Amino acid sequence: MPLFKRATAEFFGTFWLVFGGCGSAVLAAAFPQLGIGFVGVAFAFGLTVLTMAYAIGHISGCHLNPAVSIGLFVGKRFPASELLPYIIAQVVGAVVASGVLYLIASGKPDFTLAGGFASNGYGLHSPGGYSLVACFVAEVVLTAFFLLIILGSTDERAPKGFAPIAIGLGLTLIHLISIPVTNTSVNPARSTGPALFVGGWAVAQLWLFWIAPILGAIIGGLISNMFFAAPQPSVREELSR
């Protein structure tokens, strides 16, 4: 499959993750009386990854996340030469999805960006008021374990066909843990899209949601290499089986 087509799949996959996950937070989380709340948003993020893993996993590997692409490279499951095209496609997909979400959300007369537009934050902009250090540690640890789930479930020794379920539920669990802490990133592209529309504090705090997830992904990739690795095909080849 040509790199352009794989990057295009990443664009659409990341669009779906941000539109579905952040859209549930912006449009449905606190909807009067029937709001889906934190649990609903957590499942929305997990379902976006699960559905896209089945839809495009055999095409691009369904990374949808610059940190995941970097972690897979560290885990020796993805070539360095393809990192930049994938990351660009993921970030652009996230920004376009945020733009579409903004267009829809702003159709409501009382819409305002003051609620954060599903942006990630720390300190005063953490949903639970958690400190910068707490938020940084949470993002590193959760992203590291996310990579362990991805690398383990796509291992050629793992049961075939179940990786999307494990990865989707893993992301759901991550959100159940950390929505109160950072609004959950573990994905620099997901953080970048909404932040660009909110501006101000969201852009000023965006650095954490690039550095911490990437560091966590590197740690996860290194742990996998040191303790669990065996010669592996790429994630895309595993998901295509």
Walk me through the domains of the chain, giving residue ranges and CATH numbers.
3-239 (1.20.1080.10)
Distance CA(209)–CA(216), nearest Å, equals 11
**C-beta atoms surrounding 155 within 10 Å:** 19
pLDDT at residue 154, rounded to an integer: 92
pLDDT higher at 107 or 33: 107
pLDDT at residue 239, rounded to an integer: 66
pLDDT at residue 241, rounded to an integer: 60
Distance CA(191)–CA(173), nearest Å, equals 18
Q: Is the pLDDT of residue 200 over 80?
A: yes
pLDDT at residue 234, rounded to an integer: 65
Distance CA(165)–CA(96), nearest Å, equals 26
pLDDT at residue 35, rounded to an integer: 85
Q: What percent of the chain has pLDDT over 90?
A: 85
Q: Is the pLDDT of residue 41 over 80?
A: yes
Q: Which residues contact 136 (CB under 8 A, 6 or more apart)?
A: 122, 208, 212
Distance CA(61)–CA(161), nearest Å, equals 13
Dihedrals phi, psi of 37, to nearest 5 degrees? 65, -170
**C-beta atoms surrounding 206 within 10 Å:** 21
Global pTM value? 0.93
pLDDT higher at 239 or 79: 79
Q: How many residues does the chain have?
A: 241
Distance CA(231)–CA(110), nearest Å, equals 55
pLDDT at residue 230, rounded to an integer: 64
User: Which of these, 107, 123, 105, lies nearest to 115 by C-alpha position?
Assistant: 105
155-190 pLDDT, tens digit per residue, is 988 888 899 999 999 999 999 999 999 999 999 999
Q: How far is the first Cα of the chain from the last one, in angstroms, to the nearest whole number?
A: 15
Residue type at 238? E
Distance CA(241)–CA(236), nearest Å, equals 9
Distance CA(66)–CA(170), nearest Å, equals 17
Distance CA(225)–CA(192), nearest Å, equals 29
Instruction: Note whether 238 and 62 are within 8 A (CB).
Output: no
Q: Is the pLDDT of residue 225 over 80?
A: yes
131-150 pLDDT, tens digit per residue, is 999 999 999 999 999 999 99
pLDDT at residue 188, rounded to an integer: 98
pLDDT higher at 171 or 231: 171
- Average pLDDT estimate for 103-107: 95
Average pLDDT, the chain: 94
Instruction: Note whether 230 and 155 are within 8 A (CB).
Output: yes
